[in-house]
Chain A
């Protein structure tokens, strides 16, 4: 552990010494964002973005969250990949990954061209050199992306953009309306009151879930002083881990494959737990009696970015895909299918449900201040504290294995 901390601190010190990062366009502070670039604690490798588009290479290998690149195989009417293939001639192969860790891992094999990276994957990919900066001039639809998503700490470093924003959303609390009464409105249903549903509670199977516990403690145990659920010192971290170990007693199954969660809720093997909107929609379509709610404490969430692999041999197709997925029609389709806020302002006019953008708070920054986007924890505290060291992702990973027991 010591060597990793030293590494991170040294890198941070070096970065701080060399003038602070450029204009990142966002304000430091409340939920949804980490602080300015100087807090990112690393120097990205010196890579150049693509200069100009060439001829489409005829192939594109995508790593994506399930539901982001639908080609009709889940539901014949849900398809925005085939139109892209027909228009550009780029044959698409989609590899869905259940967690950010899996995505980072897949990108390291060098066999994929684009990835839809959440904030807890994007900086790691940038730091390792697996993704390169993105030339936003080559993506015509980029101008219509909400300003609040451009050049953020998770998709840009030192004023250089590393990706195209896809959309954002929050993790929700899903519950079986027959078994969980009255309808819950707090994460307490899976923490302090989990014993009521012992054996049928579920949670997301990734170390990043520790942030959910930290978020709950932020509101229920203010004396711990947690300001940012991704910036946890020893004491705060231990409290979160203890909470999760207590929760583990009542967990039936952790989920990372979204269809397993759908089935678990349908079979009543799970009755309450974290979820994504798409899971709620699909479960309801399967006649499972479920509803979802954003609890009063707020929630963790994601703001995803499409990034280009450094070693990709199909970069033109990659850029064409990124432009396609944030085009108003496609962005609206994926936002509605997945249940998230689109990144393109013009997509709001294209959604089948005209109130979609309102429901998902696409332009509501105050709402997203309550949502703590997935971010990779680093030793240098993301809430700005310099008197203590925070736990880094390695600690989170080890702790997660211990929590599962």
Chain B
């Protein structure tokens, strides 16, 4: 490893290690965020303010905060979903969109004309009216246990929210929540890779050749994102591993792998 990338590595390791388990918005994000109701929100490109309020509140119940790891909102899952829906995925990338449209069996999967963006827009419109009708207030203003009960009814297909079956909307919301929580931070979620740190997934590393046969290795390393390649770090062999007593030592000084990242 040359001196420059080693110094960068040490800096990154120290910065990541210093982060608390439950993360708060960092200064850079705060600078571009606006403030609503005392909490910061990203600049939304797809959601209007009512939709954003629901998405922020609902995803926070799907993955709530505690000391184990970040919540959906702490991971910026709402920003991830907003970006997905405002881009190619939202407009139906890779979705076969020719009719005729017919209701199929469960085995036949999704058979509605909505793109993901249209599906969210329609369902969120229906949910706003449905929650107002039931509770005379917005979802975000409900108590957490009331929010959970409502989400469970969406999940079970028991709410009428317009043309989109409520269980289908719930399933889409949950899938995108997971994607935003565990996907690479370059897509706008998984802030500070805290969800990866929570489970111990190291991210975009390319090489565990020297570690794979060190069985029962206790491996701890700050995760790495696609966005960090500019530091020339992706191809480093992982270091800083520790082994429990009785196992072979994991000591391995980092070496650059792959000519393209050598400086």
Co-assembled chains A and B: no
